Amino acid sequence: MLAAIGRSATGAVAGFGRIGLFLADTARALADVRTWGQALAQQMRRIGVDSLPITLFIAAFTGIVLALLASYTFTGAVPMYLVGTLVGKTLMMELGPVLTALALAGRVGATMAAELGTMKVTEQVDALETLAYNPYAYLVIPRVLAGTLMFPVVVAFAMGIGLFTGWIAAITLLPVSTDEFIRGLRLFYRPFDWQYGLIKSASFGFTISLIGCYLGLSTRGGAEGVGSATTRTVVYSAAMILLLDAYWAVTLLRAG
Amino acid sequence: MIAFQDLHKAFGPKRVLAGFSLDVRDGETMVIIGYSGTGKSVAIKHVVGLLDPDAGSVTVDGQAVHELDRTGLDVVRSRIGFVFQFAALFDSFTIYENIAFGLRRRRELGEGEIRDRVAHALELVDLPGTEQRMPAELSGGMRKRVGLARAIAIQPAYMLYDEPTTGLDPVTSAVIDALMVKTREALGVTSIVITHDMRSAYTVGDRIAMLFQGKVRQVGTVAEIRESADPVVRGFIEGRADAKPAEAATDLTAEEALAVEGAEG
């Protein structure tokens, strides 16, 4: 029993040590701008543009459901123009960033883990090193930077589409006019609403990319290892998204 | 010159190299033979700094590789061509991009010069005109030849071959052997070849060293190894099943073997 606890503790300390080394190597590689600069645009396109279809699909239906849910909740008790308030606040501050991040944990994070994991087990990462490339500069930094920069952009699009479909649902399916919807949207609105959503999105992008890269480059043992790294990336990313979501709520919403 | 000096390396509880010492002289082709899993690949990965020794050192032209910072290591790596066991081509790049990738690291080369170098490297490995193909479209033997072209395109002073003929049919193996000889003649490089293919070892090697239980069991010219009286060396080069000592290939558990394989790969 004690031995098992000891082994777990040693394993946890070693794990934190490996993550620390990974972060230190990544931070050092930031100086190699020439290497990561050449790969950044491609990663930004892959994470940003290629993620838009699934993101917009999710946001479109979220907007519709939110409008109908608000209407169902408010009926007879709360003025219907508040549908706009609920759709706007919820999409910008919570569901836009979180649902998008959860979807992209599967799309972006898992892709990174699978890609880098395959490169690792097929010696392509070693080949990079022997050609005098720093894998942290060439593989990790472009992905993490692109994730951090492009997640807010993708989420901004999600917010826009969600608001649009929420408005369409409100004026076509509910007894709410465009003026009422906009009135509700503007009620209690603060620029901090969307800024809060975008700050969260950047932190989600940073975390998901970092987890995907770390687990990808830690892959061992062939196809099974790649599968394991991919699955763990999705699970750990989802957990971290929810943890970060709570963290930002506690730190920024209480202060705001 | 590349010198392995009392090199020790362990993965967890398993000692892979235990006092491995070997000098590779300028201009020669040194073949390192040994049973599977004895740490041959581990040894040469120390030469390019892919692994750090637990004790001892590997020096390249007098510089201890594990003591170099990133910049120093990149300078050493830019003088070494490494041919991987399974080629390790970048599968999202075309053949041209694979070979040009290492050259682009060198700021002094223009795109025209890079194009010429790629074409020349592909001619050397008898694959002209394949620039726009993807690695997945090539056979195993062709991929190894592209891996060789990628390594020689940087015009290295040293070439390291990690089991270059493993998994190939005898004819393709002979083609790869001939290419290694041709590369040496064309570039005048110093080479280390890891193999357990004795026909290949006799064809390309000037000297042969046998790695056994973490250290060099015997080193000598091809003729000396062929005539070796050491029963372990004789058993290996003759490929006798009854000659393999129980402890020869490291009796790793499945988990330990995976760790070594991961470190090697």
pLDDT tens digit sequence for B11-29? 888 899 999 999 999 999 9
Q: Give the relative orientation of helices A82-90 and A52-74 as an angle to the nearest 10 degrees.
A: 140
Give the CATH class of B2-79+156-264: alpha beta
Residue A152 has pLDDT above 80, yes or no: yes
| Domain annotation covers residue A8 | no
pLDDT in the model for residue B105: 85
| Domain annotation covers residue A35 | no
Residue B265 has pLDDT above 70, yes or no: no
pLDDT tens digit sequence for B113-126? 999 999 999 998 88
Nearest to B83, CA basis, from B97, B99, B96: B99
pLDDT category at B170 given cuts 50, 70, 90 is: confident
Question: Which of A11-15, A27-31, A125-129, B100-104 shows the lowest per-residue confidence on average (mean pLDDT)?
Answer: A11-15
Helices (H), chain B: 40-47, 70-77, 95-104, 111-124, 140-153, 170-187, 198-204, 222-226, 231-238, 254-264
pLDDT category at B246 given cuts 50, 70, 90 is: low
> What are A44's two structure tokens?
């930004």
pLDDT tens digit sequence for A60-89? 999 999 999 988 888 777 888 899 999 999
Does an H or E element contain A151, and which?
Answer: helix A141-173
Domain count within chain A: 1
| Domain annotation covers residue A34 | no
| Domain annotation covers residue A191 | yes
Q: Does A11 touch chain B (CB under 8 A)?
A: no
Shortest Cα–Cα distance, A128 to chain B (Å): 8
Sheet holding B14-24, edge to edge: B14-24, B2-11, B55-60, B63-64
Compute the Cα dihedral for A206, A109, A11, A15 and give only its sign: negative
Considering only residues B89 and B258, tell me which one the structure prediction assigns the higher pLDDT.
B89
| Domain annotation covers residue A116 | yes
pLDDT in the model for residue A255: 60
pLDDT category at B257 given cuts 50, 70, 90 is: very low
| Domain annotation covers residue A18 | no
Quote the ipTM score: 0.87
Percent of all residues in chain A with a pLDDT value above 90, rounded to a whole number? 80
Structural Rg of chain B based on CA atoms: 18
Q: Does A73 touch chain B (CB under 8 A)?
A: no
pLDDT in the model for residue B264: 42
Residue A167 has pLDDT above 90, yes or no: yes
Burial of B251 (C-beta count, 10 Å sphere; 0-12/13-18/19+): exposed
| Domain annotation covers residue A9 | no
Shortest Cα–Cα distance, A136 to chain B (Å): 12
Please tell me the distance from the alpha carbon of residue A125 to that of residue A127, in angstroms, as a whole number.
5
Residue B260 has pLDDT above 70, yes or no: no
pLDDT in the model for residue B223: 94
Pairing of strands B63-64, B55-60: antiparallel
Q: Could you tell me the residue ranges of all domains in chain B?
A: 2-79+156-264
Among all residues of chain A, which has the CA nearest to that of B104? Answer: A131
pLDDT category at B254 given cuts 50, 70, 90 is: very low
Please indicate whether, in this complex, the C-beta atoms of B261 and A221 are within 8 angstroms of each other.
yes
Percent of all residues in chain B with a pLDDT value above 90, rounded to a whole number? 68
Average of per-residue pLDDT across A198-225: 95
pLDDT tens digit sequence for B175-184? 889 989 988 8
**Residue A88: which domain range?**
52-251
Return the residue in B45, B76, B79, B82 with the most chain A beta carbons within 10 A, the one to mutate for interface testing: B82
Sheet holding B207-212, edge to edge: B80-83, B158-162, B190-194, B29-33, B207-212, B215-221
Percent of all residues in chain A with a pLDDT value above 70, rounded to a whole number? 99
Q: How many residues does chain A have?
A: 256
Task: Indicate the residue of A127, A134, A221 with minimum beta-carbon distance to B88.
Answer: A127
| Domain annotation covers residue A40 | no
Say which DSSP state B61 is in: T
Enter the pTM of the model: 0.87
